[in-house]
Amino acid sequence: MKLFVRTFGCQMNVHDSERIEEIMVRAGYELALSPAEADVLVVNSCTVREKAWHKAISEAGRLGIQKRRRKEVLVVVAGCVAEQEKERVWKLVPVVDLVVGPDRYKELPAMVEEVRREGGRAARHGFDAGQPGDFLSTHASGKRRAASAFLTVMKGCSEQCSYCIVPSVRGPRRSRPSVDILGEAALLVSEGARELTLLGQTVNSYRDGELTFGRLLREMDQLTLLQRLRFTSPHPRFMTQEVIDCFGALRTLCESLHLPVQSGSDAVLARMKRRYTAEHYRQVAQGLRRGCEDISLTTDIIVGYPGETDADFHETLRLIEEVGFAGAFSFKYSTRPGTPAAALEDDVPEQVKAERLAKVHEVIERLSASARALEIGRTVEVLVEGKGRNAGQVTGRTRKNQIVNFVPKQRTVEELIGQLVWAKVRQALPHSLEGEEA
């Protein structure tokens, strides 16, 4: 039996898909290279914006075409759309057999078996209590792992940002016991991981009794084989001095942070229920730069939140310039069902949203190009991930998370994958750097 998983959405979903694959492999499945050869097809869906919801629904329908050739194929909708729509998924996409929410993946092998045996359909949704076993821990693989791995430290979200559907599809915040996190981290590095990215919706709100997120970072930094530590997504409200002080002080903690700001207008931030001000965000950015001058900051921006005026939007542009982001994901506000903002009129015209988005792109492009230009002539440490853009090159990322394609000196691509290699940057391209092994 073969499994194929199609993933949409954030890094947490990417990691969840790895967990789904591991659970199914442990239950006897093999991984298929394409939908055409799979017996179980999973769409691991995202619903954070309306567009993502549509993509997931249409992909489930598209994968369902495989059933025309082989009736026994099962189509599964997993993830946030599964939790949002529950049994309604069957009305939206009749070819779907199974619906499984983000906290129920452990049950997937039994669900598949049940439907194979008895026919019909199955759905599991709802949240667990966050007991130690409810976090799907990675098991020993006995094989060499990719150099970079994800590690869940908390799940769910108890913020109530007015526009956001995440709390209703991922449940309340639950922190994982630190012994389990450290145990999994030790396993991952022993199998070859050199970079770990700690995951959680408000990852820096992590707390296990007296153990704060800052303490957790310090504990992780003690892992001798670990070379790089990252985390995503932090919330500005939980950027305590203790966490800020870790940057520039911990050996493994990389000089880069993705810290979503959403807006630079205090009025909009207040209505979004973000519970910080633009000034707080600026202070956090300054604090980070005090301890770690060269830190690369990236962010998320929403344009066109209900009631956003031109003046509000200019505050956002001003903040982007002042902080000097090296990159950003920016989105047009889209109404999500059941969120507090859904009661508001989506009153910023589509064209204005599009113009604001284009303006944010323009400013971010300029800032990120100048961040890349600063690297020309520098020698940077690259964690090699694979073959590069052009023949003879390898690709990887720097500690600041910039992509570098470079020509190795003597070693082959295969020898370099997973290694930390120094490269001299010669050129900055629109989304990457180029150079040669130093």
Residue 49 found at the interface with ligand SF4 (CB under 6 A): no
- Kindly state the smallest distance separating residue 182's Cβ from ligand SF4, in Å: 25
How many residues touch ligand SAH under the rule CB under 6 A: the total is 17
Lookup: tokens for 150: 């994800």
Q: How many residues does the chain have?
A: 438
- What is the H or E stretch that residue 117 is in? helix 108-118
Residue 49 found at the interface with ligand SAH (CB under 6 A): yes
Q: Is residue 425 a contact partner of residue 378, using CB atoms and an 8 Å limit? A: yes
Residue 48 found at the interface with ligand SAH (CB under 6 A): yes
Long-range contacts: 57-66, Cβ < 8 Å, 24+?
57/81, 57/92, 57/93, 59/6, 59/8, 60/89, 60/93, 60/95, 60/96, 61/93, 61/95, 63/6, 63/35, 63/95, 64/93, 64/95, 64/96, 66/35, 66/36, 66/38, 66/41
Query: For residues 249-268, which are near ligand SAH according to CB under 6 A?
Result: 260, 262
Query: Closest CB to ligand SAH among 155 and 235?
Result: 235
Report cis status (omega within 30 of 0) of the bond before 256.
no
Residue 167 found at the interface with ligand SF4 (CB under 6 A): yes
Query: Closest CB to ligand SF4 among 269 and 323?
Result: 269
- Kindly state the smallest distance separating residue 281's Cβ from ligand SAH, in Å: 12
Query: Closest CB to ligand SF4 among 267 and 407?
Result: 267
Query: Closest CB to ligand SF4 among 166 and 244?
Result: 166
Query: Closest CB to ligand SAH among 7 and 262?
Result: 262
Measured at the alpha carbon of residue 52, what is the angle toward residues 49 and 54, in degrees to the nearest 5? 115
The piece of 33-41, 60-68, 279-287, 332-340 that touches ligand SAH (CB under 6 A) is 332-340
**DSSP E strand boundaries for 53-138:** 74-79, 98-100, 122-124
> Site mask, ligand SF4, residues 184-203, x = CB under 6 A?
-----------------xx-
- Count of alpha carbons within 13 angstroms of residue 358, beta-carbon side: 6
The piece of 5-13, 63-71, 77-85, 154-162 that touches ligand SF4 (CB under 6 A) is 154-162
Query: For residues 371-410, which are near ligand SAH according to CB under 6 A?
Result: none
Q: Which of 6, 49, 235, 399 binds ligand SF4 (CB under 6 A)?
A: 235
Residue 334 found at the interface with ligand SAH (CB under 6 A): yes
Query: Closest CB to ligand SAH among 6 and 235?
Result: 235
* Nearest CA among 367, 368, 394, 396 for reference residue 380: 396
Q: Is residue 260 a contact partner of residue 310, using CB atoms and an 8 Å limit? A: no
Q: Which of 161, 226, 269, 278 binds ligand SF4 (CB under 6 A)?
A: 161
Residue 136 found at the interface with ligand SAH (CB under 6 A): no
* SS3 label, residue 232: strand
Q: Is residue 239 a contact partner of residue 202, using CB atoms and an 8 Å limit? A: no
- Count of alpha carbons within 13 angstroms of residue 204, beta-carbon side: 21
- Kindly state the smallest distance separating residue 354's Cβ from ligand SF4, in Å: 22
Lookup: tokens for 227: 């070379």
Q: Is residue 436 a contact partner of residue 409, using CB atoms and an 8 Å limit? A: yes
203 contact, one of ligand SAH, ligand SF4, none, CB 5-8 Å limit per kind: none
Lookup: tokens for 396: 């990887």
Residue 230 found at the interface with ligand SAH (CB under 6 A): no
Q: Is residue 52 a contact partner of residue 8, using CB atoms and an 8 Å limit? A: yes
DSSP 348-393: S-HHHHHHHHHHHHHHHHHHHHHHHHTTTT-EEEEEEEEE-SSTT-
Gap between the Cα atoms of 227 and 195, Å rounded: 6
Residue 233 found at the interface with ligand SAH (CB under 6 A): yes
Q: Which of 42, 77, 108, 164 binds ligand SF4 (CB under 6 A)?
A: 164
The piece of 61-69, 109-117, 153-161, 396-404 that touches ligand SF4 (CB under 6 A) is 153-161
Residue 64 found at the interface with ligand SAH (CB under 6 A): no
Residue 235 found at the interface with ligand SAH (CB under 6 A): yes
Query: Closest CB to ligand SAH among 135 and 163?
Result: 163
49 contact, one of ligand SAH, ligand SF4, none, CB 5-8 Å limit per kind: ligand SAH
Gap between the Cα atoms of 414 and 420, Å rounded: 13
Gap between the Cα atoms of 240 and 212, Å rounded: 10
Query: Closest CB to ligand SAH among 110 and 354?
Result: 354
Using DSSP bridges, classify how beta strands 379-387 and 420-428 pair: parallel, antiparallel or unpaired: antiparallel
Residue 168 found at the interface with ligand SAH (CB under 6 A): no
Residue 204 found at the interface with ligand SF4 (CB under 6 A): no
**Contacting positions for ligand SF4 (CB under 6 A):** 157, 159, 161, 164, 166-167, 201-202, 235
**Contacting positions for ligand SAH (CB under 6 A):** 48-49, 163-164, 166, 201-202, 233, 235, 260, 262, 300, 302, 331, 333-334, 336
